[in-house]
């Protein structure tokens, strides 16, 4: 897993988080809206679950890349 994350540039992940991860920007970021729905128990439609996963994926990858130890170069 770490070797795969090492192949993804950090700058690309940051750009994806700021664009796809937060789009649309108004009236509120889509990810924030879906997280609020999840906490409220309103995230039941498959399209909403897919939407949450789509917008959260860049953030999850960024957190993993920054938190997992570097893979050894073989």
Q: Report the interhelical angle of 46-67 vs 30-40 (nearest 10°).
A: 110
pLDDT, tens only, 22-58: 888 788 888 888 899 999 999 999 998 999 999 999 9
- pLDDT at position 74 is 53
pLDDT, tens only, 3-23: 888 899 999 999 999 998 888
Cβ atoms of 73 and 3 within 8 Å: the answer is no
CA 19/CA 62 separation, integer angstroms: 13
Residues contacting 9, CB < 8 A, separation 6+: none
- pLDDT at position 72 is 65
Neighbours of 15 (CB within 10 A): 13
């Amino acid at each position: 897993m770490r070797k795969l994350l090492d192949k993804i540039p950090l700058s690309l992940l940051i750009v994806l988080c700021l664009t796809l991860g937060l789009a649309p920007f108004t009236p509120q970021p889509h990810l924030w809206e879906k997280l609020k729905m999840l906490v409220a128990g309103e995230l039941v439609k498959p399209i909403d679950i897919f939407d949450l996963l789509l917008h959260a994926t860049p953030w999850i990858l960024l957190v993993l890349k920054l938190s997992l130890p570097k893979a050894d170069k073989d």
